[in-house]
Structure 1
């Protein structure tokens, strides 16, 4: 959430954090800053504009001048002011400031929004850099690609030099899970970019699409394919994006955006900056599971698979105490409340039935049996326990991390092409005609024959009805049905 500046010369930038407006957008809250501003602080704020004003930096100045911050007497120094001994603090033109303004600074005005953001999936996005994704980037690609690629979405760990200024290796950074020098997580301007800090920008799907795009998480492409995206683009002038109050069904009805469903307010539900609160499946890992949410007294939260026993409020967990438990059903009900703004219960329940069926199909037919085979190959010495050191591991990675995710996300967001052609179709093709041949190659390389591979397929694949065609071929009835439809369209004898 914070687009980063390169130097202290961009001091006004920091105001971005302060517009962590809830998407239900109550009146903008500057009281905390304004009430505590001294005459000396106000004088320093005016001094900032001598260098960062309309003559020298008109882009920064004009955006700030037209923002709610300026309208509410919040200036550069209100956000960049530092205390002695703070990490990243340094003296600039007679004032102690810091360049890296963080959610902790934003919380002086936007306490509720920051508390929600700090516990959310967004704040933890930097943790992905310890995963196999980062291994691919750092080791196989190279650190420069990760720094300018992965970390610009997920966030880097910001470092400062001996003078208190952020290092060029870690700055600028727009990562939504950025690890800041004061221990806070995230960057507000990833969604509310400097220096206008527009709530309208944060409500547009394009803002989310800056990170949620591409082969492994194409949410923006799926959204644009969906009826929701089509309606949004056709009715942009009716979306009331700049409104202070932005309640679905009250302030706009033409279409939902990403923010509407995952963060926005309805007549019956407040907005939130906790973007995972309404998510009932995790669609990221190799095998999906429904997830319960456990909230803790220390302000953190975590997801727990449906299969794990639920703690109770008051239980000691992860060095803290459980304060709230949201089951996957409750999380789904929160999302259904948004859906109900425009849809009947039959439509909403039907969507979730179709969505669940696709995830179950992917899990049960492909992911679980392939994962079981891969485990046996490793446990019995056909593969090492090292990641990404065999062709079959790359194939499996792309089946779940690319095609499998696209299928699941496509079903979740009403994107039929991503559910099938970019999803389950490619999962099927790569399972049968890439992964299975590679399985046989791996076994033959060790044993000199394919016997163990055939045994694994018989054990894990053959009992699943959906794989019957692969072992026994399509039945005559299936082929005749296809032939009839094909020849009705293209003429007798057209299907050979």
Structure 2
């Protein structure tokens, strides 16, 4: 019969073996996690060898990013993108090679012609011009252009010779940048250099640099509040963001991102780099405007929605959205604009922009609260629709704009304002042939 002592020894030995096995397994798991992911093998062309060797020492992160890119695996290197001609305004000779620091959309068009054509005709490419409209005076007045508004809208980059660029215009990665070669845009605003990751360009964070904030462009804020954003955060690993095709409903289905709705492919329409292709309204100005050909643009957006939602759901949602925008236009935006125009005609406002309190009140009404509400309605953000949008629009309109206008010119608001709140009933759903089946 075995004594107590040997039993304890056996149990202790087994326990020690078990503990050692756990340590070995844990070590192997940790080693596996720390092992670098296999990187694509870069193809370094002869023209790029000196660049890669030198910048591997001077700016190693840039080289490593490029080595991770699809460009590198195809032998598309430094010279292919940065190589310049003598006539290029920003060209200079760098260690015996003529290059340009700025890689413009025109440069990218040598390989990406369709993308260049679409982007050149898009709202993104005109972002700098759009900044000069409506609220652009705010940027010029406070002197925040280079690091503020131009960081998103872009700058007209001025080459001063010998490869030097005017520091008031460069560096700049704004989507509407005017490049020294005359082309508009910056591909790297979305396709961040030097790995040009598809996954990053498709992620909402890529758009958030510019389309966020509680003032006039809160798209990311609305997205994060919505169920779309909640699903993306929870199911990020299921998004297949690096797919070569990335067709919704085929390559992924967990959640939509900004790119899903505005740019990326569906089974029935291709990817586009014209971000206005699917937008029936423009919500940017004081008064929202239907786009030319808005029915076809709406159909293109509906096609995206139908990949996840039922036809009636989609139709009724757009009915609600249109009703909200039309109510904002009719009850607040148009009267406010007419009042401001009347004040200016009567000489109650100086020609200079943003030098009187009511101009800031007007700006807060349409560019801040008005855009929050309209974008919230477009992207399923009820908090932004109601409390950060509609409520703030009404509060500013009735308690600030109207009293301020009356102090400047008594009686001036009467022709433009209807007493009491008008209730706008949602229209009946449009036929399916209008919203879902017109292909």
TM-score by length of 2: 0.83
In structure 2, relative to structure 1, the CA distance for the partners of 1:277 and 1:341 (3 Å cut) is same
Structure 1 residue ranges without an equivalent (≥5):
1-33, 35-40, 293-326, 444-449, 468-496
| C-alpha distance in 2 between matches for 1:357 and 1:43 | 61
Q: Deviations over 1:166-192 (max 9, x none)?
A: 232222111011100001111111111
Which residues in structure 2 correspond to 1:46-65 (within 5 Å)? 46-53=49-56, 55-65=57-67
What is residue 189 of structure 2 aligned with on the other side?
A: 190
Partner residue in 2 for 1:43? 46
Give the drift of 1:62: 1.1
Q: Determine the structure 1 residue equivalent to 2:217.
A: 217
- In terms of mean alpha carbon deviation, does 217-226 or 88-97 score higher? 88-97
Residue 257 of structure 2 is matched in structure 1 by 257
Name 1:202's counterpart in structure 2. Answer: 201
Tell me the number of residue pairs that the alignment of Structure 1 and Structure 2 aligns: 380
2:234 is the alignment partner of 1:234: yes
Distance in 2 between the 1:132 and 1:411 partners?
Answer: 22
Contact conserved, 2:135 with 2:367, CA < 8 A, in 1? no
Normalised by the length of structure 1, the TM-score is 0.74
Check the 8 A contact 2:135/2:363 in 1, yes or no: no
Q: 1:390 aligns with which of 337, 347, 356?
A: 356
Change (3 A) 1:374 1:56: closer
Matched, 1:268 2:271: no
Q: Distance in 2 between matches of 1:421 and 1:248?
A: 33
Distance 2:394 2:202 in 1: 36
Q: Could you give the per-residue CA deviations for residues 81-139 of structure 1, whole angstroms, max 9, x where no partner exists?
A: 11122211111111111111111111111111111111111111111342343322222
What residue ranges of structure 2 are gaps of 5+ in the alignment?
1-42, 424-439
State the structure with more CA Rg: 2
CA distance in 2, matches of 1:462, 1:332: 32
What value does the CA root-mean-square deviation take over the aligned residues? 1.7
Rate the CA distance shift 1:48–1:363 in 2: closer, same or farther, 3 A.
Answer: same
Distance in 1 of aligned mates of 2:131 and 2:280: 24
- Residue 346 of structure 1 corresponds to which residue in structure 2? 312
**Higher RCO (C-alpha 8 Å, min separation 6):** 1
1:463 CA displacement: 5.9
Q: Mapping of 1:448-463 within 5 angstroms?
A: 450=410, 452-453=411-412, 456-457=413-414, 459-462=415-418
Secondary structure at 1:172 match in 2: coil
| 1:169 equivalent in structure 2 | 168
Q: For residue 88 of structure 1, give the secondary structure of its aligned residue in structure 2.
A: coil
Cα distance, 1:78 vs structure 2: 1.1
**Is the aligned partner of 1:427 residue 2:393?**
yes
Cα contact 2:89–2:161 (8 A) shared by 1: no
Cα pair distance change 1:167/1:392, threshold 3 Å: closer
